[in-house]
Amino acid sequence: MKHFLKLYMLWTTIVLCGQNAYSNDSVHDNLQKVDINLVQPTPIDDPCFDYFLESPFHFLNEPKENYKANHLHTTIDALTFARNAEYFLPYTKGYTMLGFIANPTLNYGIGHYGQITAGVHLMGAAGDDKSILSIKPIIRLEYEPNDFVSIVGGSLYGNLNHKLYEQMYGFDRFFMENYEMGFQVLVNYRWLDADVWCNWEDFIEPGDEKQEKLTIGIRTNSRLNGNGKAVMSIPLHIVGTHRGGQFTALKDTCLETLFNAATGLELKVYMNNQKSLDFKVPVFFSVNNSDKAHIHTFHESGWGIYPNITYSARQNRHKIEAGYWYADRYFSPKGSYLYQTRSYFDPNFRCDERSMVVAKYYYNGNDKRKLRFGADVQCYYDLKEKKLDFAFGLYLKFHENFRIAKLKKKNLESTYIN
């Protein structure tokens, strides 16, 4: 844990220096001359494309006037997908899945500073006897004390919305584990884009024959400058997972605490309003912080590096990524097993080093349309095994907001949060 504290202190020092440079008056004046599309906060790394991401209340494209106090509206988010993953290496197994994910919700606007959301999360797969694999409630409270902070309780903007590297949060999890519940703080400031959350996965009571599980995370992207067409950023990604619990009735328990962290540099170069290049050099770290009697990984620590370049065209509608992955004893409980030195299905498998070339293509449909089409192709070539793993998918997404009514209530102002 002390290694992560040192890393965080170093990162904070660098960011504060960058913040002072960013707040310089001359830099701020130059920012006003640049196209607004060029200076909007962008994630240090998009693990997929904006196609899959949700929009927190503060970041909705619709003007806030549409969500005045007492206004009730409904949101329909629906995604159908056909995905095929051909994984032949010993780290994980492939799958073919045709299915859907739907999140219909009712939303009640609380002034210009909050919203309450209630709905249902549905997930299903074609050919499965159950038809619907998951039915879970969506309950979310959002509060905005100012223009750049959102506090979320209940159903989180989770999964790929955390915008973590694939080495720390696997892309395939979107189709298997698309639900998070807990607490979250989102920040979208002039020089900082951040997400801090806790996802409580398994709650236990005394006598339960299972363990409690939770995940905590921090993801920040701090821009050192915003002047002109070249923007430099420093990412910091930290994910910690824990399983244990004092009340479990299990006799043979595994108390496990794992941490992953990543940091590095990103340089985004805007060629024009339609095209951009991203140069990224993130470095990854993994640490098993469990008690020595409960070390259940072959390695107590590891690291990896992923220099890569991404070309985006037509305002991110097309994305092409190419990179090289090297890992030494790297492991990640939430990351894709395609990048790890351990196997998902074989606990006895052991590998100390990975060397792999990665290439990806994403098509992100027109985000101004209610019904959008998307597609992706991902290739992973292992240089040691000399084998290729690949996956591809086709997606249709529908998103729409409908205002239903304006509810009237006397003295409502007295109930507002000051």
pLDDT tens, residue by residue, 137-178: 999 999 999 989 999 999 999 999 999 999 999 999 999 888
- Spatial distance between the Cα atoms of 229 and 269, rounded to a whole number of angstroms: 6
* Distance, CA of 6 to CA of 278 (rounded, Å): 28
Name residues whose C-beta falls within 8 Å of residue 28's C-beta, 6 or more positions apart in sequence: none
Comparing CA positions, the residue from 252, 328, 344 lying closest to residue 283 is: 328
Residue 150 carries which side chain, given as an amino acid letter?
S
pLDDT at 113 (0 to 100): 84
Question: What's the mean pLDDT when you consider all of the chain?
Answer: 81
Q: Please, what sign has the CA dihedral across residues 301, 234, 321, 94? A: positive
Confidence of residue 109 (pLDDT cuts 50, 70, 90): confident
Predicted confidence at residue 385, as pLDDT, reads 92
Top mean pLDDT of 47-56, 110-119, 380-389 is at 380-389
What pLDDT is attached to residue 195? 97
Report residue 25 CA to chain centroid gap: 33
Q: What's the average model confidence in pLDDT over 378-400?
A: 95
Mean pLDDT of 264-284: 93
Over the stretch 86-101, which tens digit does the pLDDT of each residue have?
A: 999 888 889 999 999 9
Contacts of 314 (CB under 8 A, 6+ apart): 274, 275
157: DSSP letter? S
Dist. CA 268–CA 251, nearest whole Å = 52
How far, CA to CA in Å, does 395 sit from each of 51, 81, 100, 357? 9, 4, 9, 26
CA nearest 105: which of 124, 79, 77? Answer: 77
SS3 341: coil
* Distances in whole angstroms, Cα of residue 352 to Cα of each of 14, 89, 305, 339: 32, 15, 14, 12
Res. 323: pLDDT tops 80: yes
Using pLDDT thresholds of 50, 70 and 90, give the confidence band for residue 267: very high
Q: What is the distance between the alpha carbons of residues 171 and 393, in angstroms, rounded to a whole number?
A: 12
pLDDT in tens, 300-318: 899 999 999 999 998 788 9
- Rounded to whole angstroms, what are the CA distances from 207 to 1, 49, 251, 280? 31, 43, 11, 48
pLDDT over 80 at 410, yes or no: no
Per-position b or e across 195-210, b if 16+ CB within 10 A of its CB: bbbbbebeebeeeeee
At residue 411 the predicted structure's pLDDT band, cuts being 50, 70 and 90, is: very low
Tell me what the mean pLDDT of segment 239-268 comes to.
80
Band (260; pLDDT cuts 50, 70, 90): very high
Report d(CA 394, CA 120) in Å as an integer. Answer: 24
Q: Which two tokens stand for residue 222?
A: 């701090």
> Bridge partners of 215?
199, 241
- Indicate the residue type of 200: W
Q: What's the start-to-end Cα distance of the chain, in Å?
A: 38
pTM of the model: 0.81
Residue type, 153: G
Q: How far apart are CA 351 and CA 383, in angstroms?
A: 14
Give the rounded percent of residues in the chain with a pLDDT score beyond 70. Answer: 76
**How far apart are the C-alpha atoms of 38 and 176, rounded to whole Å?**
34
pLDDT tens sequence across 43-79:
333 444 466 676 554 433 344 444 556 788 899 999 9
Q: Which two tokens stand for residue 406?
A: 């304006």
Q: Taking the alpha carbons of 296, 299, 302, 308 in that order, is the dihedral positive or negative? A: negative
Number of residues that make up the chain? 418
Question: Is there a contact between 296 and 268 (Cβ–Cβ < 8 Å)?
Answer: no
Buried b (16+ CB within 10 A) or exposed e, 211-235: bbbbbbbbbbbbbbbbbeeebebbb
Residue 111: pLDDT band (50, 70, 90) is confident
Closest Cα to residue 159, out of 195, 191, 125, 193? 195
pLDDT at res. 150: 94
DSSP state of 349: -
Q: Tens digit of pLDDT for each residue in 178-231?
A: 899 999 999 999 899 999 999 998 887 776 777 889 999 999 999 998 767 899
Tokens of residue 392, six digits: 């591809």
**Per residue in 281-301, pLDDT tens?**
999 999 998 776 655 666 789
